[in-house]
Structure 1
């Protein structure tokens, strides 16, 4: 059971990492891209744009926190 728990904790740390918001954002972008593709829309651009937006949001939050805001 210890190895199974360690394996699960590894994947949790790998996927979630330091900020669960980025992981949730990426999962949402994956879902939106899949939904649009299933509807016949060419949405290949949505995932890279969403990841870039998540990065910008994360950096904005980190800068605000570093300034003590």
Structure 2
């Protein structure tokens, strides 16, 4: 379920990485597998380590 700002407010998610269910959004740590894979396929494989780290740790809110 989504709240006013399109944030997750409730639900249950299954984590295949550690074989457990997570109840509620506060227990989630959203992974970046898809964006990382897309970035890699789109040229991030040529980035140096510092640029990849900056991309991975970008917590900007411009996409919201």
Q: What TM-score, normalized to structure 1?
A: 0.31
Structure ID, larger Rg? 1
Higher strand share: 2
**Greater RCO (Cα-Cα under 8 Å, separation 6 or more):** 1
Q: What TM-score, normalized to structure 2?
A: 0.32
